[in-house]
Structures are given as C-alpha cells and as structure tokens.
Structure 1
Amino acid sequence: MKTSWRSASLAAGAVAVLALTTACGQDNGGGTPVSQNVGATAPAGGGYSGLGNPGYGTGAKEENSATRTATAGELTVADNPELGEVLTDSAGFTLYRFDKDTAEPPKSACDGDCAKAWPPVPADDATAGAGIDDSQLGEVTRADGSKQLTIGGWPAYRYAKDTKAGDVNGQGVGGTWYALAPDGKKAKLSSLPGLSVRHDTNLGDIIVDKNGMTVYRFLKDEAWPKPVSACTGACLAKWPAVAPVEANDTKGVKKKGLMSFTRPDGVKQQTVNCWPIYTFSGDKAPGDINGQGVGGTWYAVTPEGKPVGAPKQ
C-alpha cells in the first residue's frame, strides 16, 4: 500500500491522511494478557537479546565427541513430522547444511569453533541407503586437508547439541543452519503460506512465517502515520525483518494494514496492521517462542497484529 504525502491539493492530502489513519495507528500497543511471558528475559543495554557467535551456535560439549568424529556409514531417510524427509547418518543423527557454504563449487565456511559446534561429516565410508540417489553424494577437501561429505554439493555436518538419534535441535539455528533433505536441499514442509496462524498452547493464536517460525513485534517501532522500525544494526541481525508477502499468500491474518515498506537501509519489510514484523534468530525450529517477552519489548503477534502479552501503553 502506498500513500502520497505530496498531494497537489489540500483536499487530496486530507483524503490520503484519512486513509492511512484508517489503515494504520489504531493499535495502542497493548496486547491480550496471557498467564506468562514464555522465555522473557531482560538483557542489559537494549531491547534485544545478544547471542554469542551468531550463525553457528555455541556450547558444544566434550561428551559429544563421538558425534564429531564418527563416520557416516549408510545414510538413511527419516520422516520428521515438522520437516518431512530428513537425511541422517547410519546412527540416526540428523545431517545439516550451512547457508554460508557454497555448493557450486563445494566449499565449507565452518572452521574453528564453528566446526566444534557443527562437526563436519567425514566422507570416508558414506554410502547411499534406500531413497537416496548415490549421485548426490560427493566430497570436498577442507582447509585442514580432511575430506568432508557433500550432499547435492552442500557440505554436511552434525550438530553437537543433538544427543540422540532423531534430534533436530540444529534446525534454523542462526537463520543459517538447516537439516538436509535427501537431494541436498533444505528439509522443510512447503505447505505453509507466506504468513499463517498457529495455535500455541501458551500464547494462543499467533502468526508464523512460511517456515513455521514465530513472528514478533518490537514495542519501540511505530505504525502511524507510517511504519517505522527502531530495530537496526546488531538488533536486526538478531531479529531479521520478515520479507514482503502477497496478501493472497496469507491465511488467517488480518488483511487490513497488511502491507510492506522500505526501511532506511533499503530492505523491504512486511507489516501486519501496519506494524513491522520480525523473526528471532534464537528460535531454532518451527514452534519455538524463545523471543517472547525478550527485553520487555518483543512479543509474538496475534492474527490482528497485536503483541501477545505486552503491557498496555
């Protein structure tokens, strides 16, 4: 939706202002109270949560050394209820890919501490099991000279925080790590529209994006007379702006005030009821609500665009 503030006549300007007032700015920032603010924290120095080493996660434990060194063996295809078909090693551990890598040509961008949290899968004895095309398997030589398994050209990793077969704790970490599908693509169900509504047992009906990730609002933003985001720089790295979504690519979301705008940095961002919306890099998998209540300024969004559980202002 575009509104001109340079109208040739005062009457046309008044109509434009009236139209925008009708579409935007009717929410006073208050939300529907809930019994608890799940995951609420109050980090010092700002309204967003700092995450150490963004992009690959931290906290790999030495007891997971077997995960870091084990060969892949015969690869298998597991059926995950949220992600569909997921590629695993012979022990059932999920294999992942990293968005900062490249597949053509294969190249790994994960070394040092990153490789401790995300152990590269050795190419030594990897073979294709049922449902996997052997031609998808390959290898890449890492900086240390070791051979790493590739799937569809993408270097394959395990996640040190997956402690048992079937775990998918690495899914979506940092917005750059995803479980591998058998063809090397990201494993995810593709049935969700750009924005839709999911019922959360703690928060009620909330908006999720096309990947099923929770959508949030920042109380320091503005919606009237036009959308303004107060989340920039390091904040935006932690709370990525949701890209524009066509109105017909939504389900259950209020259409009024459903628009996009261009941020000062040139990035286009989606709004609901004219309020800018974001995802949270600390949410690792669909259904996570780790951003809820962070700093007392970040809240999940109702289908009407209100912040769930936010204090009335």
Structure 2
Amino acid sequence: MKNSIFLLLISITVLYSCSSDDSDSPSNPEPEANAVQLVSNTTFGNILTDADGKSLYFFSRDSKGTSACSDGCIANWPVFYANNLTLDTGLETSDFGEITREDGEKQTTYKGWPLYYFINDNAAGDTNGDQVGNNWYIAKPDYSLMYAEAQLVGKDTDGNNVNFKSDYTPGDELTFYIVNATTGRTLYTFMNDKKDTNNYTAADFSNNAIWPVFHIDIDKLPSILNPNDFGTIDVFGTSQLTYKGWPLYYFGQDTERGDNLGINVPNPGVWPIANTDTPGAPE
C-alpha cells in the first residue's frame, strides 16, 4: 500500500513538472509581434517594419496622401496593409490611417504617407529600397522633412490651374522639392533674399499670413538631404529654417496636402521650391 502511494505521488510530480515546463502549451502561447514595429537599424536609426521585421517605405510621389504607385510599380513595391493595427511602444495610433487605393485595395498610411514593401528586401532588416530613384525612402517616425516629387501647379489670373515644369515654364513634369514631413506642405525660397537674410517679412509680421516663415527643429532627414545644408536664422525674434542659406517659407494659400500654388506668385520663379539642385543663396 505504501509503495502504491509513493508511486502515485511520483506520477503526479512528473505530470506537473512536464506541464509547467511546456512552453508550447496552449496555456502559454508566444506573444504575437505587433503589426507595425519600431526597430533600431544601424544605418537609419529607428525604422518602421511589419510584424516579421520587413522594412517599410515612403514614396516621394505620394505627397498628396494618395498612392501614385500602381500597375508595374506595385510589382516592385507591394502595398502594406494591417487590418488589426497593433503598434510597438513609441508609436502613436493617431499617426496611422488607411486609404482605399484606385485598385480598390486598402493601404496603411503613416503621417499621411502610404506604406510599402520593397521586392528586393529578402530578409528582416534589409533596407535595399532606400533612395531608389531618389524617390523611395525607408519609413521612419522622426523625419522632420520629406522629399516630394510632383507636378507643380499654379493658378492663372482667372484662377485656373496651370502646370509648370521645374524651370517654371508651362508644361508637364514631375519636380522634386522639400516638404514638411508631417503635413506634406510645400516649402519655398524667395528670390530677393540673401544668404541667411530674410528680405520679405515685415518687422510687425503683417505679411506673414501670405508667406509664413517656416521653422522646425531638424531631427532626421531622408538620406538624399544633407543636414549640413540646413541652418536657423532669427527674424525679428522668430526662428526661421534655412536651406543652403535660403530662408524657407510656406505659402498661405496652400491649404490642401501637396499644394504648391505659390510657384507662380506673383510670377513664375519669384518663390521657387527648394531641392538638392537649389544653388546656394548669394551673399
């Protein structure tokens, strides 16, 4: 009788031990990775990835918040969409959204920029798509500015849209330019300014609503932009960001994401956009 009780106690102990150590038991499932992860990358710092660690990207042509990548483009840059949007610590739900593409598919966005994969990223941590065509950039949460590529569209005297090329002559052409990363709002220079000198803004800021001075503390930039090209000046007690010595402005009538209506006000080229081809401001 004593031997039977002893054997029963041993059996119970063994069964309990096996149950407790079984990490694959349904009662102890492995936690699922979040749909969007914040991953530290040795080259880019914190980047956005999917649940498997695959890198996500922004497209410069999506400055209006809609996707300009379709047909053959999508074959190389597949859409990212998370139906159940769970996020790593450090990411805010309010920064994410979704769009319905022209092909009817849904796509997740971050701060208004649709998110994509790159077909030549074969493993978690690959970032082979950054700066492809100068218009694809690794998705980061801390870009201060973005590099857009879009048609320049101004207004004629009757209020009709007029397309302009990068040389500010009428015509169809995609032009690169710098925008605010969060709002996609276009940044401009003023042809009458000098190096680190704002010659437009009135001392009482009475004309600031027309061409507001722009300032942001530079954190991270798309890889095509050189941080050393940016600076800060004081304009009657207000900070203004400069690019290659040119003070940067918004245009007050750019009300929609992606607008660049200031490019022909009052005439084409008086308020140029800023991009990597912009020459340094004169002394």
Please say whether Structure 1 and Structure 2 have the same fold, judged by a TM-score greater than 0.5.
Answer: no
Structure of greater relative contact order (alpha carbons < 8 Å, 6+ residues apart)? 1
TM-score by length of 1: 0.37
Q: Over alpha carbons, which structure has the higher Rg?
A: 2
* TM-score relative to the length of structure 2: 0.41
